[in-house]
Chains A and B, each alone.
Chain A
């Protein structure tokens, strides 16, 4: 794709005891690119993401950021680089409101180390407007009262608010209805258009083919291929995920895909 990837992962290994979660995995994503990361359960998608986010540390291999090797030892390190992860299980605190969640861990302070509430609220409103998130009635309501799609939007807006360069979305549409999925997919496209690099983890091939530019496939902790969305078919990708045993995938009969 582009000459200089924003993030490049080279030959990364990660073991949990006897289990080899990642084995010599290579991966890259560039600014303005939506890279889908797909694979069956246990393929190592979440492990790879957590290594990039600093939740886990890698056993060996290199992570390059804008061409430079970097060490990521914690969420703070990845945050400092401009990596923001939107987790599948929604890392929002239910009892805090929208603004409080968006600024969690990075609150703006005014004099006497007080929280600068009006500045935070103003910027949060601006960011939500930028992303055309219009369904949230008040940014001062606890996120517990929001719908799944709205919560997902808040989580994404949080990433954008921090001028992140890379946004990682872990199964953003897994628990959502049709309209809410639409909302989130539009948001993902918007992120790419704004020049951010996006990594999208999903099991839903329709979502992947709609928004992703490229697709990386993992199987049992190994790379098995990278596809350009425009040059491939759902069938080809699904075969890569399942090691060719496509007839074992429910709803993926030969006829249905041809």
Chain B
């Protein structure tokens, strides 16, 4: 299940390494030793948590709970995928929790069947637009006025919490009756559709890898060995088929899984295959170098904050879909910290410049497994927070230590 949503990332090869499998593997070992841990800690964490939880409660590794887990992780994964870009800049966005609340609440209010409700798509569009504008606004304060992002988004955390209270306040709870929004997390793909999407995505991923090999060969450049590509693609294919079939023994994969996959592919493409994504990494790595290279650093920052808040609004709509309603506490609680934790646990550095969109999804699996598993064990909310806090601290510590190691390796 670790690879539940390990999907075809849009970016392809780890770039060229000496040809042949031996040197390729040795290179990878060197990288790990040098502090580039990649996805290793997360895979270990997933396995350990799965074994522990299963030992304590045999319902943990059932198809039904697995399907729950997909819906449960989705808000954190989606909010986290936007947050990754902010973290890549070396900034932080503490407002994502309540901005997600804004997204959910606005969509819910506009879709209230009171005779003047909006069409589903315009309501969703409005919610996303509000997210975008909030992000641009906060980004403006950070990029143009030089206010630390920590403070701007802390103000946002308070302010948007207030706005959510103002909107929902008198009504208490707004039940969502829109079938599309409710269906996101509560309707399930047919087995046939899941197969088409799953196998189709892996096939597309393989095609992109093969095309890259072909193009690099044409240019006379070194390539990833075919054996590695085949092994990698085969592993992902096997995991995909396993996930699809396992979920099918219960209700199947919820549509939100499809949404996560789409966002993962799209945003990974944005981060690794476009000029904008390259500039995000550059600004996070060395803002002064980026500026001297002629990159409009302020614009990159503002766009990234806009993207992050928009993704938060998407996550908020998904969360509202899971609960079928919004209320005064929407966007609060653990959403913010779980989303940040997802990114960091997945391997995105808080120091900027290092990370990937997929880390949010991988980290969200861990966060959701902890939340879900502790729920099954009937522990108190207090214990849940303590455990999650410890996991977050462990992930950040690992990040700091591995960063020191790679710095040391860099000086070699």
List residues 80-118 of chain A with CB under 8 A from any CB of chain B: 85, 87, 89, 91-97, 100-101, 104-107, 109, 113-115, 117-118
Cα distance A91–B289 in the bound complex, in angstroms:
4
Most buried by B among A89, A105, A142: A105
Which residues of chain A come closer than 8 Å to B34, judged between CB atoms?
A: 145
Cα distance A68–B215 in the bound complex, in angstroms:
43
- With contact pairs A75-B293, A144-B407 given, residues A96 and B281 touching in the complex (Cβ less than 8 Å): yes
Binary contact readout B11-44 vs A (1 if CB under 8 angstroms, 0 otherwise): 0000111000000000000000010000000000
Contact A122 B220 (CB under 8 A): yes
Does any Cβ of A come within 8 Å of B288's Cβ?
A: yes
Cβ 8 A contact of B15, one of A91, A101, A115, A140: A140
Cα distance A109–B212 in the bound complex, in angstroms:
15
Contact B220 A115 (CB under 8 A): no
| Number of A positions contacting B (CB below 8 A) | 36
Contact A118 B216 (CB under 8 A): yes
Binary contact readout B265-301 vs A (1 if CB under 8 angstroms, 0 otherwise): 0000000011100110110111011111111000000
Most buried by B among A92, A97, A100, A104: A104
User: Closest A-chain residue to B12, C-beta based?
Assistant: A117
Contact A121 B219 (CB under 8 A): yes
- With contact pairs A55-B292, A107-B275, A140-B15 given, residues A95 and B353 touching in the complex (Cβ less than 8 Å): yes
Which residues of chain A come closer than 8 Å to B219, judged between CB atoms?
A: 118-119, 121-122
Min CB distance, B189 to chain A, in Å?
28
Cα distance A13–B253 in the bound complex, in angstroms:
69
Does any Cβ of B come within 8 Å of A134's Cβ?
A: no
Cβ 8 A contact of A87, one of B212, B278, B292, B295: B292
Does any Cβ of B come within 8 Å of A5's Cβ?
A: no
List residues 208-223 of chain B with CB under 8 A from any CB of chain A: 212, 215-216, 218-221
Contact A93 B291 (CB under 8 A): no
Contact B15 A92 (CB under 8 A): no
- With contact pairs A75-B291, A100-B278, A115-B273 given, residues A93 and B412 touching in the complex (Cβ less than 8 Å): no
Which residues of chain A come closer than 8 Å to B212, judged between CB atoms?
A: 118
User: Closest A-chain residue to B217, C-beta based?
Assistant: A118
Cα distance A219–B259 in the bound complex, in angstroms:
64
Does any Cβ of A come within 8 Å of B406's Cβ?
A: yes
Does any Cβ of B come within 8 Å of A76's Cβ?
A: yes
Cβ 8 A contact of A104, one of B273, B289, B412: B289
Which residues of chain B come closer than 8 Å to A107, judged between CB atoms?
A: 275, 278
Cα distance A74–B409 in the bound complex, in angstroms:
36
Min CB distance, A168 to chain B, in Å?
12
Cβ 8 A contact of B285, one of A95, A106, A121: A95
User: Closest A-chain residue to B355, C-beta based?
Assistant: A95
Which residues of chain B come closer than 8 Å to A100, judged between CB atoms?
A: 278, 281-282
Min CB distance, B10 to chain A, in Å?
10
Cβ 8 A contact of A115, one of B215, B274, B286: B274
Cα distance A92–B288 in the bound complex, in angstroms:
9
Cα distance A117–B222 in the bound complex, in angstroms:
12
Binary contact readout A129-145 vs B (1 if CB under 8 angstroms, 0 otherwise): 00000000010101011
- With contact pairs A93-B289, A119-B219 given, residues A74 and B294 touching in the complex (Cβ less than 8 Å): yes
Does any Cβ of B come within 8 Å of A79's Cβ?
A: yes
Contact B294 A79 (CB under 8 A): yes
User: Closest B-chain residue to A116, C-beta based?
Assistant: B215
Which residues of chain A come closer than 8 Å to B353, judged between CB atoms?
A: 93-95
Min CB distance, B43 to chain A, in Å?
23
Which residues of chain A come closer than 8 Å to B406, judged between CB atoms?
A: 144
Cα distance A138–B16 in the bound complex, in angstroms:
9
Which residues of chain B come closer than 8 Å to A117, judged between CB atoms?
A: 15
Contact A91 B285 (CB under 8 A): no
Cβ 8 A contact of A95, one of B15, B279, B281: B281
Cα distance A74–B293 in the bound complex, in angstroms:
10
Which residues of chain B come closer than 8 Å to A91, judged between CB atoms?
A: 286, 288-289, 292-293
- With contact pairs A93-B286, A104-B289, A104-B293 given, residues A145 and B281 touching in the complex (Cβ less than 8 Å): no
Contact A76 B15 (CB under 8 A): no
Most buried by B among A79, A101, A114, A118: A118
Which residues of chain B come closer than 8 Å to A113, judged between CB atoms?
A: 274-275
Cβ 8 A contact of A144, one of B275, B278, B284, B410: B410
Which residues of chain A come closer than 8 Å to B384, judged between CB atoms?
A: none
Contact B292 A109 (CB under 8 A): no
Does any Cβ of A come within 8 Å of B251's Cβ?
A: no
Contact A97 B286 (CB under 8 A): no
Cα distance A189–B111 in the bound complex, in angstroms:
71
Contact B282 A96 (CB under 8 A): yes
Contact A94 B410 (CB under 8 A): yes
List residues 29-81 of chain B with CB under 8 A from any CB of chain A: 34
Cα distance A93–B278 in the bound complex, in angstroms:
11
Binary contact readout B353-368 vs A (1 if CB under 8 angstroms, 0 otherwise): 1100000000000000
Min CB distance, B282 to chain A, in Å?
5
- With contact pairs A76-B294, A118-B219, A119-B219 given, residues A93 and B273 touching in the complex (Cβ less than 8 Å): no
Contact B410 A145 (CB under 8 A): yes
Which residues of chain B come closer than 8 Å to A93, judged between CB atoms?
A: 281-282, 285-286, 289-290, 353
Contact B407 A104 (CB under 8 A): no
Min CB distance, A146 to chain B, in Å?
8
User: 21 A-B residue contacts at CB 8 Å?
Assistant: A75-B293, A87-B292, A89-B288, A91-B288, A92-B286, A92-B289, A93-B285, A96-B278, A100-B281, A101-B289, A105-B295, A107-B278, A113-B274, A113-B275, A118-B219, A121-B219, A121-B221, A138-B17, A140-B15, A140-B16, A144-B406
Which A residues are closer than 8 A to B by beta carbons? 55, 74-76, 79, 85, 87, 89, 91-97, 100-101, 104-107, 109, 113-115, 117-119, 121-122, 125, 138, 140, 142, 144-145
Q: A93-B282, A115-B273 are in contact. List 5 more A-B contacts (CB 8 A).
A: A75-B292, A87-B292, A93-B290, A114-B274, A145-B409
